[in-house]
A and B are shown apart, each in its own frame.
Chain A
Amino acid sequence: MMYRVIGRLPAPLLAGAAILLALLLCAAAPGTVAPYDPLAFDYAALLQPPGRAHLFGTDQFGRDILSRTVAAAAIDLQIAVLATVGPLLIGTVVGLLVGYYGGIADAVFGRLVDLVVTFPFLVLVIAIVAVLGPGLGNMYVAITAVGWVFYARLMRSEVLVLRGQDYVSACKVLGYGQARILLRHVLPNAARPVIVYWMTDMALAILLGSSLGYLGLGAQPPAAEWGVLIADGKNLFTQAWWIAVFPGFAIVLAGIGFSLVGDGVADLLDVKR
């Protein structure tokens, strides 16, 4: 039964899911995938190029790059979730309410959206991080403070379409409570494009999180995060390219994984983008 369901899913979705499951395994049990302790120095194997003993080579302290890349999956997947779940929840609630009730709140929200899109997203996030101070936690706060607007905008436009449809009017005629109409009838239908957007946004979050990590504004060393690892290797790039190149592969792979799953889910839920 299970096998049959999987067999019917589109191939890109399965490929994306496989990538994400592999990354999830790295994050949950790095020990089973990584051949070495990611933090162990090995002065007998400094700056080793990729080879049999060290598949991805070693850095200037003899740390195994494969193990470090695997270990970093935990933080980057954490970024994918924590940088998006706040915007998702806040944006869904706000979008649902302003879309359904309209009025002054909706008008104010419209102006807010116009305003927020005027600021370059990254610049605004960086400015907020500047206020709060660099670090993962503050990065989440900054991304959430700006990012929820985009979820709310999407949710609002969906709710506006649904609000005009017959079955919602029918619910009102039947005297259903507001909460019941919103939660049982509007939310499940309006949520589909939001969920698809969430998938692609997780890919963007990893790109954003690793960029901030690279700039020194996100995850702080010695925490293993792909962007931080690349920043570690950037000065040695000409002598030991592998230190920065392999963590970069991981980012690209994760991005493709989320995108494939996002496209697949969009097809399954029949969401047009």
Chain B
Amino acid sequence: MSRAGLVAARLLQIVPTFLAIGAVVFVLARLLPGDPVSAMLGDRATEEAVTRLRAQLGLDQPLWTQFLLFAGRMLHGDFGTSIALRVPVTAVIAERLPATLVLTALATVLAVGLAVPLAFVAATQAGRWPDTLIRAAFQVGLSSPIFYVGLLLLTVFAAGLRWFPVGGYGDGVAGHLYHLLLPALTLALSFSAVIMRNLRAAILEVLQAEFVDFARSKGLSRRVVLFRHVLRNALLSTVTLVGLQVGTLLGGAVITESVFAVPGVGRLMVDSIFARDYPVIQALTLVLAVIVSLAFLVTDLVQMWLDPRVAR
């Protein structure tokens, strides 16, 4: 199949994925304890108001009609009204989403920036002390819960040394980045441990490849062999890994935002659980899953673009 055909096929796959995500969220919503109408209107609603809302939400229709109605509303971006905040859910999420996206993007950049050089050193020094040290550090990183790392960084660098704000989101682009740097670092530390482990193994594998010997036999410098031939091939798997880990990263954002009081969708999710704000939980679950599936899509496209072998 041609490259363009592959890209088109991959783009089309997103449609059933979105439908399936919607179905899961719909089922989850049906499982909610109690009646969604009484949850929305409160206990003191009149009989008439309840009947009207039921009809309005289509709850008197058969289940599959309800699903179609649900899907239709989702397509229009209509997620209902937040019970706790009394504003449209779409507006709340639109307001909170940027902070989470900036946080995860910044964390990804930091994690890759941290993991790639260290994985490179560890792999080229495999079995020697720098490798042992780096691997031990990352083993500790992998075993440390995000909230704990966040709390430590917060205490030392924000409360103690006062280099960073204790929490919040700040104003303007610079303010946002400044406020999100410590939370992003928190998220990046655990993420970089995953990347570094994978990339170290990938580099070691590529180092065994015969094309590395061939490259050396051409008289290329060590730098050219390592960067152009080894790292470039090893990074292909890292690209996939970063894409596949977007979900884990968003999960981590839920915790990080709670620790650092970042007004993103992760903190909104936790707050909504305690507020029993079901429309928000439902919408967030859907939105985050859609973001992950889009990240998978982008990963596949980038993979096709980077690896000449894919399109064949």
A–B contact via C-beta, under 8 angstroms: yes
Determine if A174 is an interface residue (Cβ-Cβ < 8 Å). Answer: no
Contacting pair B254 A256 (CB below 8 A): no
B262 at interface, CB cutoff 8 A: no
A-B contact count (CB 8 A): 134
Q: Which residues of chain B come closer than 8 Å to A245, judged between CB atoms?
A: 152
A42-50, A120-128, A152-160: which one contacts chain B? A120-128
Q: How far is the CA of A128 from the CA of B273 in the complex (A)?
A: 10
A115 CA to B16 CA, complexed, in Å: 10
B147 to A237, Cβ gap below 8 A? no
Q: Mark A122-160, 1 if CB is under 8 A from B, else 0.
A: 111011111111100000000000000000000000000
Contact A227 B147 (CB under 8 A): yes
Asked if B51 is an interface residue, CB under 8 A from chain A, the answer is no
A241 within 8 A of B: yes
How far, in whole Å, are A251 and B33 apart by their CA atoms in the complex?
33
CB atoms of A241 and B155 under 8 A apart = yes
Contact of B139 among A119, A211, A256 (CB under 8 A): A256
Given A120-B248, A131-B33, decide whether A237 and B148 contact each other with a Cβ distance below 8 A: no
Contact segment of A27-35, A51-59, A187-195, A213-221: A213-221
B146 near A238 with CB under 8 A, answer no
Is A210 within 8 A of B145, CB to CB?
yes
Size of B's binding interface in residues, CB under 8 A? 48
Which of B143, B248, B273 lies in contact with A129, CB distance below 8 A? Answer: B273
Given A131-B31, A207-B145 in contact, is the A122-B254 Cβ separation under 8 Å? yes
Chain B min CB distance to A120 (Å): 4
B140 partner, pick from A119, A132, A256, beta carbons under 8 A: A256
Residues in B with CB closer than 8 Å to A87 are: none
- Asked if B115 lies at the interface with its beta carbon under 8 angstroms from chain A, I say no
Give the contacting residue for A255; candidates B142, B151, B282; CB below 8 A: B142
Q: In the complex, how many residues of chain A place their beta carbon closer than 8 angstroms to a beta carbon of chain B?
A: 44
B9 within 8 A of A: no
Q: Are B143 and A119 in contact (CB under 8 A)?
A: no
Contact assessment for B144 and A252 in the assembled complex, using a CB-CB cutoff below 8 Å: yes
Of A111, A120, A122, A251, chain B has the most CB atoms within 10 Å of the CB of A120
Which residues from chain B sit less than 8 Å from chain A, CB to CB?
17, 20-21, 24, 28, 31-33, 139-140, 142-148, 151-152, 154-155, 159-160, 244, 246-248, 250-252, 254-255, 258, 269-270, 272-274, 278, 281-282, 284-285, 288-289, 292-293, 296
Give A residues with C-beta under 8 Å from B: 111, 114-115, 117-124, 126-134, 203, 207, 210-211, 214-217, 227, 230, 234, 237-238, 241, 244-245, 248, 251-256, 259
Known pairs A122-B250, A127-B28, A255-B144. 17 more at Cβ < 8 A? A117-B244, A117-B247, A118-B21, A118-B293, A119-B24, A119-B285, A120-B250, A123-B284, A123-B288, A129-B273, A210-B147, A214-B255, A230-B148, A230-B151, A245-B152, A259-B142, A259-B143
